[in-house]
Amino acid sequence: MKRPRIVILGAGFAGFQAARTLSRTYGDAVEVVLVNPTDFAVYLPLLPEVAAGIVDPRHISVSITATLPGVRLVLGTVTGLDPKTATVEYIDPEARPGTLGYDRLIVAVGSVTKVLPIEGATRHSHGFKGIPEALYLRDHMIRQVELAAVADDPAERAARLTFVVVGAGYSGTEVAAAGQLLTRALIRRNPLLRGERARWLLLQLGDHVLPEMRPRMRATAERVLTRRGVEVRLGTSINRAASEGVTLTDGEFVGARTVVWTTGVRPDPVVDGFGLPTAAGGRVAVDEYMAVRDHPGIYAAGDVAAVPDLTRPGQITPMTGQHATRQGKVVARNVAASLGLHGRARPYRHRNLGFVVDLGGWKAAADPLGVPLSGVLAKAVTRGYHLWSIPANRPRILTDWVLDAVLPRLSVQLGLVRSGAVPLDTADPELPYDHSPASVTTL
């Protein structure tokens, strides 16, 4: 008998867990197909350590074929959904379109960097949402320090040694923390820069860094960063970005060659064309079972889904890896239940277990189960949590950390940055589309 096909769109935290749960528990009864542009899932929380040159990018890339042997991986980017015929359209890495039929669909395509309509922001700032962007940023930072060393003009030298991070959520805060330590090490090692220091600005429009976290964690992060010399500017963002610097919302011009854009994320825009109901900020509207309203057989989970937060009535779950991972497991069981393979569907309910924020060096802020920690203890908890959470490559990551503790940081560029500017979307070029019917693959 033909097994029902469950198609999962996206191999992030939610999609990966859904595929793993389905293939491990119900693999004999269902065909699990995972559509993702790459053959790996990225463990995003360690991205700042990749940008800082601490962790090898391959080590935060979890091989889908090695870790999910029972799952059929379709390399591709989904471009459309037709609920009437129960098919999705995708483009493979060689720009060939294909279609895929499903009995059940889980939409888990995650989120993308939210770009605000600020003059020059897209062109002159770096995004920070994937491995290419982290590697570009690392190359760019190293190159700025090297160019500063040979700049005769003091203003140019100062601008090359000035780094502006816009947005102080966990990615912005961690990038500022890790980046500042990297540039400090690079400057110390360069005799031409004796007496110089990098200037780092962390801009946050609200009243605190890490707005989504508890006050003790925010205070720890602000204290650690400020003591290190990072200028934390609250109530401030930028009005304009240009090749020579940024104009802050208070009117000050800051000469800088590096602007990192981390003001938040929005659901992947591909779902705008799916015709599914949406809620807050364009996330796919689902019920507490993660089923899409009025669309039998279609579910959504993770950053892309507006899942009701039953622990905070009236609100939806925040876009975090912690929720996406658990939603992936629950949605898998609910899909299995809809096929008669597993009891009854159960609602998604998860109380936040705390956050961890790596502040570079031996510092971190963490509040596991609500217990506020800082310093080395928080660092140990933070690293332990990441090792526990990543589904593969643990010994490799541990080795990276040990080597970084005992050896000087490698400071050569990879040669990825060739132009003077690195626009927000450089690392994510649009795929060329070929819609000619002759090249359509139907699975």
Ligand X SMILES: Cc1cc2nc3c(=O)[nH]c(=O)nc-3n(C[C@H](O)[C@H](O)[C@H](O)COP(=O)(O)OP(=O)(O)OC[C@H]3O[C@@H](n4cnc5c(N)ncnc54)[C@H](O)[C@@H]3O)c2cc1C
In the list 129, 143, 326, 379, the residue contacting ligand X (rule: CB under 6 A) is: 129
Q: Does 270 bind ligand X (CB under 6 A)?
A: yes
Q: Does 35 bind ligand X (CB under 6 A)?
A: yes
Q: Does 111 bind ligand X (CB under 6 A)?
A: yes
CB nearer to ligand X: pick between 148 and 163: 163
* Residue 55 DSSP SS3: coil
What DSSP string runs through 305-344? EE-B-TTSTT-B--S-HHHHHHHHHHHHHHHHHHTTSSS-
Stretch that binds ligand X, among 32-40, 158-166, 367-375, 399-407 (CB under 6 A): 32-40
Give the integer Cα–Cα distance in Å for 120 and 115. Answer: 11
φ/ψ (deg, to 5) at 126? -95, 135
# chain residues binding ligand X, by CB under 6 A = 34
Which residues, 6+ apart, have CB-to-CB distance to 415 below 8 Å?
139
CB of 439 to ligand X, least distance (A): 18
In the list 53, 97, 110, 360, the residue contacting ligand X (rule: CB under 6 A) is: 110
Residue nearest to ligand X according to CB distances in the complex: 12
Q: Does 37 bind ligand X (CB under 6 A)?
A: yes
In the list 4, 6, 8, 12, the residue contacting ligand X (rule: CB under 6 A) is: 12
Structure tokens at 144: 């700025």
**Residue pair 265/259 in contact by the 8 Å Cβ criterion:** no
Give the integer Cα–Cα distance in Å for 236 and 335. Answer: 45
CB nearer to ligand X: pick between 204 and 248: 204
Stretch that binds ligand X, among 55-63, 286-294, 298-306, 400-408 (CB under 6 A): 298-306
In the list 7, 13, 182, 274, the residue contacting ligand X (rule: CB under 6 A) is: 13
Helix, strand, coil distribution of the chain in percent, nearest 5: 35, 25, 40
Q: Does 255 bind ligand X (CB under 6 A)?
A: no
The residues in 344-383 that bind ligand X, with binding defined as CB under 6 A, are none
Structure tokens at 12: 């992030």
Structure tokens at 168: 């102080």
Q: Does 278 bind ligand X (CB under 6 A)?
A: no
Q: Kind of pairing, strands 72-75 and 441-442? A: unpaired
CB nearer to ligand X: pick between 159 and 373: 373
CB of 324 to ligand X, least distance (A): 3
CB nearer to ligand X: pick between 211 and 235: 211
Q: Does 47 bind ligand X (CB under 6 A)?
A: yes
Count of other CB atoms within 10 angstroms of residue 235: 11
Give the integer Cα–Cα distance in Å for 110 and 301. Answer: 8
Stretch that binds ligand X, among 52-60, 108-116, 218-226, 419-427 (CB under 6 A): 108-116
Q: Does 36 bind ligand X (CB under 6 A)?
A: yes
The residues in 137-196 that bind ligand X, with binding defined as CB under 6 A, are 170-171
Buried residues in 344-358 as b, exposed as e (16+ CB within 10 A):
ebeebebebebbbbb
Which residues, 6+ apart, have CB-to-CB distance to 35 below 8 Å?
7, 8, 9, 10, 74, 76, 78, 88, 90, 100
CB nearer to ligand X: pick between 42 and 254: 42
Q: Does 106 bind ligand X (CB under 6 A)?
A: no
Measure CA of the first residue to CA of the last residue in the chain; give whole Å: 18
The residues in 200-239 that bind ligand X, with binding defined as CB under 6 A, are none
Stretch that binds ligand X, among 65-73, 96-104, 313-321, 427-435 (CB under 6 A): 313-321
**Residue pair 27/72 in contact by the 8 Å Cβ criterion:** no
In the list 4, 6, 15, 127, the residue contacting ligand X (rule: CB under 6 A) is: 15
CB nearer to ligand X: pick between 233 and 386: 386
Q: Does 319 bind ligand X (CB under 6 A)?
A: yes
CB of 265 to ligand X, least distance (A): 7
Q: Does 303 bind ligand X (CB under 6 A)?
A: yes
**Residue pair 355/349 in contact by the 8 Å Cβ criterion:** no
Amino acid at 46: L
Count of other CB atoms within 10 angstroms of residue 156: 15
* Residue 231 DSSP SS3: strand
In the list 4, 302, 308, 360, the residue contacting ligand X (rule: CB under 6 A) is: 302
What is the 8-class DSSP label of residue 299? Answer: E
Structure tokens at 100: 């895929």
Interaction site with ligand X (CB under 6 A): 9-15, 35-37, 41, 44-45, 47, 77-78, 108-111, 128-129, 170-171, 268, 270, 302-304, 319-322, 324
